Structure 1
Amino acid sequence: MTDLEISLSVPPKPIRDIAAKLNIPEDLLEYYGTNKAKLPLSLIDPKKISQGKLVLVTAITPTPAGEGKTTVSIGLGDGLNHIGKKAMTVIREPSLGPVFGIKGGAAGGGRSQVIPMVDINLHFTGDFSAVEKANNLLAALIDNNIQAKQGNLGIDPRTVLWKRCMDMNDRALRNIISGLGGKAGGVPREAGFNITAASEIMAILCLSQDIEDLQQRCGQIYIGDTFEGKPVYARDLKAEGAMAVLLKDAIKPNLVQTLEGNPAIIHGGPFANIAQGTNTVLGTKMGLSLADYVVTEAGFGADLGAEKFLNIKCRAAGLSPSAIVLVATIRALKYHGGKPLNELTLEDTAALKAGLPNLERHLSSLKSFGLPVVVAINNFDRDTEAEKRLLIEHCEALGVPVAISNGWAEGGKGCEALARKVAEAAEGCTATFTPTYALEDSPRQKMEKICRTIYGAENVILSNVASRQLRRFEDLGYGNLPVCMAKTQKSLSDDEKKLGRPENFDIHIRELEIATGAGFIIPIAGNILRMPGLPSSPASERISIDREGTISGLF
């Protein structure tokens, strides 16, 4: 059966029944149909947050198809419930870009899914749409002010940094000319689009502590300069109030369920290669207020998602995981050992051994945070006993707890062994994480510490453009912000062709962006782009719907 067929074979329970498991009164639910609801922020309890166990799920460097990190997260959450823990999974909302692009659906798989999967992967509760509208309202206000005769702030169109956004992969919109069509069309200028998941509004939504904080952050957005060189912010356009109003419902976490009827929260959806890559602070705190264990994930490999989860999100929110789960797959390790993509289902212990340094690099970087790490081997049908034995023995030789995760085939039951090892690690953890860098470090020092400690790089090389931009950001007083690296997810380096564990490499920063509302500087390494393109054969080609409304090909 396909993921979609499995999802549709299990009727979701009424969301009020899921809420009842968490002792949430029905009158506090904001219903979106019968099987999903938004939760009021009043349910967040600071006392309970400090008592809960937060478990971060991350991964080794993935193959293009991904290694099932979300599937493991959902399976682990169900597995913890199987062994008697009150647990829930808190993850990101999928973006339509990957859904119709290369990866398809992103709400787990097999017996470890969150449902209703079709709704979650499409428009869900409208959060992404609200982010787009708030983002594009600011863009419209900027262009309106540039053209206005009265109230004109004197914005230099050549300096405007703010881009429009849409939740779709569309490379043709990366760089555009807007304002054509004469006086009625506005003032022509260079512009462009980001994908919604990479917009600063998404980052703000995911880092905000409440609606007041969200509104203030919207006002702090740096949009460009005047002709005299003075910075202009969204608050100068009086934009923050209307933007926050558009996000008034999007800020509330979304309650859904797993196939096994366990509660799950899905909220926020930034990518990890071009944004901070993890769900909202409010979603995580809501989970910790309602359950004893919260399993969450951070996008792509540990070099991207986990690093940002800890150095950006946890630092801002005052959170610290009790354990980290590193997802590894035999197919990805063989890929990093030189095995071609079309041969990964064939047994090859030599290629597996050759790929193990990638696992070791991620283990080394995660241990730098001072938290316990458990390796989860996400099981695939074509993995052989010899390959699994080799990987398990290697982890044991390194002194790292390891367990097979069989959530795709068996759901929570297939993750019980993993759940026990994770619970043991979490309950034995008394430390808080050690950041990779101090906020007092210069932006350059922060980049260097990330690139050396997490990636294994030697040097960070800034282009002339990036150096000039960095000086400008420091002159504006933003040198103490964290950095959010934008880098390929396909390699530990900035070159996607360098697989495994590259050595003797530098990280090249092409340009920098700044997100003053979200609160970080964005160094862009290599050819990474904030508006992805579609592959030559996009997933959308396989998606259809019949006259009865039955969807096919979505997953």
Structure 2
Amino acid sequence: MPSDLAISRAATRRPLEEVAADMGIGPHLLEPYGSAASKISLDAIDELRDRPRAKYVVVSAITPTPLGSGKTTTAIGLGQGFRHIDKLGVVAIRQPSMGPVFGIKGGAAGGGYAQVIPMEALNLHLTGDMHAVTAAHNLLSAMIGNHIHKGNHLGLDLQEITWRRVLDVNDRELRNIITGLGGPDDGNPLQTGFDISAASEVMALLSLCTSLRDLRERMGRIVVGYDRGGEPVTAEMLKAAGAMTVILKDAIKPNLMQTAEQTPVLVHSGPFGNIATGNSSVVADLIGIHAGDYLITEAGFGADIGAEKFFNIKCRASGLTPDAAVIVATVRDLKTHSNKYRVVAGRPLPPEMLTENPDDVIAGAANLRQQIANIRRHGVTPVIAVNAFPTDYASEHRAIMHVAAEEGVRVAISYHFTEGGKGAVELAEAVAEACSEPSGYHRLYPDELPLPDKIDVIAREMYGADGVDISPLAARQLDKYERAGFGSLPVCIAKTHLSLSADPSIKGAPTGWRLPVREVRASIGAGFIYPICGDMRTMPGLSSAPAAERIDIDHNGEIVGLS
């Protein structure tokens, strides 16, 4: 089979004006960025408002292993599959961060014959939105430092500044730094650090806003720290929010691209899935919901994290109601959840894992069952998508189908990676059937529930925990946020994506454990409180053999090594 890059380059692209026309979007709403992508004006939200509403489908997964489950590939394949049953599926995904692209994960354009093209454009800069987020975030950092240098009339407590800096690279050296070294003209020495741009609250905020005006208001609400009396200090108080919004004036517009089969794809925003929502933007969905028969959006990591945040944070912001949810599962991931194998990113799979063994699949199915329950707890119909690999055995697929039958869930074996849309027809038909059923969607908890109780509900209902253990520091922070008037916000739990528990080494569906909450932070501009459970890295490091070592330009000036 050709490489992803070779497939991307061999695919025929349609003019984006034609792709947009299929969606009911006229050329007056497009701002071309070369031939690879076009920005879509937010005026499209109002212009499309009277068109029929698409069925709304979220693509999630079982708890991923370091290899990933292929959610993006499945979402793209599903969109292509709808074309083969004479329906238009519009796909909405996040923009990849270049940190993972040059790190261990590689590109995030999908894969095989189910990918966004051209993959080089998607994975490398695209239209510059990630850099705009970086610039807006760091402008606020500079304004904080300047305010302190010029007298600090707001009384910012230098030990309570919570706003760090960001950069779109993996660089562990920047996690913890001291700024302001030198003389008096070089600022005040402060201990701080860098996060990756995808972890910025500005990115989360961009993904959840509904308009340029909403973006401006959210910018003003960003809390950068606290004064000596314990009161929050905001970007509005620092007079930085207006300039930050100006930097993002174009970045708020979704990017239109296409798949290898010329299906429309909306690519916009890229918040982290562990400390933020892990979902693409609300404005892209507000356009896409009236632009086809189905709108397919992807939620990062497993259903306990990405889909939970989709249901309780993103849908809360957008007002949109999902009709069905896809749970992506692979044979190799289910085998990993049997706890018999150790899988390490960047290394070959254990040879015994590739032998035929449906019993291992059944042993790992406890995680799948939990994720099915997680979707159903929100009143949404789940569909299992088996992302098929050439190394799978028919008996192993039958094992997954047996689990699905026991749970009363639709299941489809999908070959979109090797066959494109025609390999996803069975999945498209199953999703269409699920969408024809009435949706009973509801959020997991009411806004008025106290913050500690919201955390407890998610821990018990989504993760299978016996409860939560809140540290004294976290308890003080939760109390401070309640007193500040933030108690009605949803919670966005930051924990490992590699386990239902807070311990990444524990696979399957563990029981008899409690969720530790060591710290709680507030993303007031984005509109959520995020409890931190375990050791969360917001600035990744590079591996011993990062992808950057393989990426180069050949003698023809073509990019090589990108995957």
Provide TM-score, normalisation by structure 1. Answer: 0.97
SS at match of 1:269: coil
Q: d(CA) in 1 for partners of 2:49 and 2:16? A: 26
The answer to whether the aligner puts 1:515 opposite 2:523 as a matched pair is: yes
2:223 and 2:234 in contact (8 A); partners too:
yes
CA deviations on 1:110-132 (whole Å, 9 max, x unpaired) are: 00001111010010000000000
* Aligned residue runs from structure 1 range 27-66, under 5 A: 27-45=28-46, 47-48=49-50, 51-66=53-68
CA contact 1:169–1:532 (8 Å) conserved in 2: yes
Shift in Å, 1:215? 0.6
**Structure 2 counterpart of 1:408, one-letter code:** F
Asked if 1:199 is matched to 2:200, the reply is yes
Name whichever of 27-36 and 221-230 sits farther off.
221-230
* Cα root mean square deviation, aligned: 1.3
Residues 200-209 or 168-177, more deviating: 168-177
Q: CA deviation at 1:184?
A: 1.5
Could you say which residue in structure 2 is the equivalent of 1:366? 375
2:305 partner letter = L
Gaps of 5+ in 2: 344-348
What do residues 244-289 of structure 1 show as CA deviations (whole Å, max 9, x unaligned)?
0000000001000010011111001112112100000001111112
**Does 2:256 match 1:248?**
no
Distance in 2, matches of 1:320 and 1:102, equals 35
Residue 399 of structure 1, CA deviation: 1.0
Tell whether the 8 Å contact from 2:11 to 2:260 is kept in structure 1 after alignment: yes
Show the 5 A alignment for 1:537-552. Answer: 537-552=545-560
What are the within-5 Å matches in structure 2 for residues 341-420 of structure 1?
A: 341=343, 342-343=349-350, 344-420=353-429
TM-score normalised by structure 2 residue count: 0.96
Counterpart residue identity of residue 291, structure 2:
L
Question: Does the CA-based 8 Å contact 1:60-1:327 persist in structure 2?
Answer: yes
Whether the 8 Å CA contact 1:334–1:352 is kept in 2: the answer is yes
Letter in structure 1 aligned against 2:109? A
Q: Secondary structure at the match of 2:469?
A: strand
The aligned runs of 1:16-165 (5 Å cut-off) are: 16-45=17-46, 47-48=49-50, 51-149=53-151, 152-165=153-166
1:126/1:220 CA distance change after superposition, 3 Å: same
Helix, strand or coil at the partner of 2:417? helix
- Asked whether the 8 Å contact 2:379–2:439 carries over to 1, the reply is no
- Please say if residues 54 and 291 of structure 2, whose CA atoms lie closer than 8 Å, have aligned partners that are also in contact: no
Deviation readout 1:123-154 (Å, 9 max, x if unpaired): 000000000000000000000000104x7322
Distance 1:545 1:11 in 2: 23
Letter in 2 for 1:410: E
Does the residue aligned with 2:364 lie in a helix, a strand or coil? helix
Answer whether contact 2:362 2:403 (CA < 8 A) is retained: no
Identify which range, 487-496 or 76-85, moves more after superposition: 76-85
- Displacement of 1:157 in angstroms is 1.4
Find the residue that maps to 2:78 and give its secondary structure: helix
369 and 225 in structure 1: CA distance in 2 versus 1, 3 angstrom threshold: same
* AA of the residue aligned to 2:396: E
2:322 touches 2:439 (CA, 8 Å); kept in 1? no
Shift of 1:338: 2.4
> What residue in structure 1 maps to residue 236 of structure 2?
235
Q: 8 Å contact 2:208–2:526 — kept in the other structure?
A: yes
| One of 517, 536, 544 as aligned partner of 2:544 | 536
How many Å separate the matches in 2 of 1:498 and 1:172? 29
CA offset digits 1:375-418 (Å, max 9, x no partner): 00000010001111111122122211000111101111000011
Q: 258-267 or 470-479: which moved more?
A: 470-479
Matches within 5 A, 1:476-515: 476-515=484-523
How far residue 231 of structure 1 moved from its aligned partner, in angstroms, is 2.1
> Contact 1:49–1:285 at 8 Å: present in 2 too?
no
SS at match of 1:65: coil
Aligned to 1:434: 442
| Partner amino acid, structure 2, of 1:79 | G
Give the distance between the partners of 1:449 and 1:49, measured in 2 at CA: 38
Any idea what the Cα deviations from partners look like across 1:24-54, whole Å, max 9, x if unmatched?
A: 2223210100231000111114745772211
Q: Please give the alpha-carbon distance, in whole angstroms, between the structure 1 residues aligned to 2:25 and 2:317.
A: 27
Shift of 1:465: 1.8
Of stretches 318-327 and 48-57 in structure 1, the one that deviates more from structure 2 is: 48-57
Gaps of 5+ in 1: none
Quick one: distance in 2 between partners of 1:48 and 1:457? Answer: 44
Aligned length: 553
* Aligned residues of 2:367 and 2:508 also touching (Cα < 8 A): yes
CA contact (8 A) 1:14 1:35 kept: no
Q: Secondary structure at the match of 1:493?
A: coil
- Which region of structure 1 is more displaced relative to structure 2, 69-78 or 168-177? 168-177
Post-superposition Cα deviations, 1:501-533, rounded to whole Å, max 9, x if no partner, equal 111011111211100101110101011122222
AA aligned to 1:60 is I
In 2, Cα distance between equivalents of 1:390 and 1:397:
11
- Give, in angstroms, the shift of residue 545 of structure 1: 1.2
Instruction: Report deviation, 1:63.
Output: 1.2
CA distance in 1, matches of 2:454, 2:88: 38
Q: Work out whether 1:458 is the aligned partner of 2:466.
A: yes
What's the CA shift for 1:214? 0.3
